[in-house]
């Protein structure tokens, strides 16, 4: 998939170094929910897990080819109270833009292309995303994209705010 400034392609083994460099930033790890302290072995393990996902994508700048982040469709084990509120088939997205590339509108550009693609090409009723309560940039982005807060839950003693965009 292409946008004006980016292309989205399946994550592949050759992305490992860019991925590990991207998650080396402590603030990104904290905002994404990765452990605060991470070594090379754990970084490689997280990358391998992402590569094993059916729909894991590298986000790359067109002009440089650099990997600037990732987008994942994940099978999330949602708490029962959330599952009860959702009817029909949906997708859960997880994403990150690496720190040097933040505040360029990249994630907005990717999601503005990918979410309509999901609704047009799959029989889904909703797209679900979550963000940590204190991650204001993610909160603002999801609101801008038409997501609505519908509940929250706690993971690792941090509040996750669940946002949903319905077809």
pLDDT single digits (tens) 116-147: 999 999 988 889 888 888 888 888 999 999 99
pLDDT at 111: 96
Indicate whether 84 belongs to any domain: yes
CA 53/CA 55 separation, integer angstroms = 6
Does the residue 158 lie in any domain? yes
Residue 57 in domain: yes
- Ramachandran angles phi, psi of 66, nearest 5°: -65, 140
pLDDT band for position 38 (cuts 50, 70, 90): confident
Q: Is residue 93 part of a domain?
A: yes
Asked if the structure places residue 25 within a domain, the reply is yes
pLDDT of the residue at 36: 80
**CATH number for position 70:** 3.40.630.30
Q: Domain of 80?
A: 6-166
Q: Smallest Cα–Cα separation from 114: which of 12, 8, 10, 4?
A: 8
pLDDT value at residue 90: 84
Name the least confident of 55-59, 153-157, 160-164: 153-157
The pLDDT, as a whole number, for residue 156 is 66
How high does pLDDT run on average in the chain? 87
86 is a domain residue: yes
Assess whether pLDDT exceeds 70 at residue 77. Answer: no
Name residue 58's beta-bridge partners: 9, 70
In the chain, how many domains are there?
1
State yes or no: pLDDT of 57 exceeds 90.
yes
- pLDDT score recorded for residue 56: 95
> Residue 124 has what DSSP assignment?
-
pLDDT of residue 158: 66
Beta strand 126-132 with 90-97 is parallel
Report residue 98's pLDDT band, with 50, 70 and 90 as the boundaries: very high
Q: How far apart are CA 13 and CA 143, in angstroms?
A: 33
Residue 1 lies in a domain: no
At 82, list the tokens: 């959330």
């Amino acid at each position: 998939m292409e946008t004006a400034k980016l292309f989205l392609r399946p994550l592949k083994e050759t992305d490992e170094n860019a991925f590990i460099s991207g998650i080396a930033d402590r603030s990104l790890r904290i905002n994404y929910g990765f452990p605060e302290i991470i070594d090379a072995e754990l970084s490689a393990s997280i990358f391998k897990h992402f590569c094993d996902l059916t729909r894991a994508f590298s986000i790359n700048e067109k002009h440089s080819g650099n990997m600037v982040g990732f987008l994942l469709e994940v099978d999330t084990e949602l708490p029962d109270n959330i599952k009860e509120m959702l009817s029909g088939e949906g997708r859960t997205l997880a994403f990150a833009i690496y720190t040097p590339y933040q505040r360029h509108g990249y994630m907005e550009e990717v999601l503005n292309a990918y979410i309509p693609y999901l609704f047009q090409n799959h029989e889904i009723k909703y797209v679900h995303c979550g963000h940590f309560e204190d991650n204001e940039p993610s909160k603002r982005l999801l609101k801008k994209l038409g997501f609505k807060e519908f509940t929250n839950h706690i993971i690792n003693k941090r509040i996750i705010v669940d946002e949903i965009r319905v077809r």
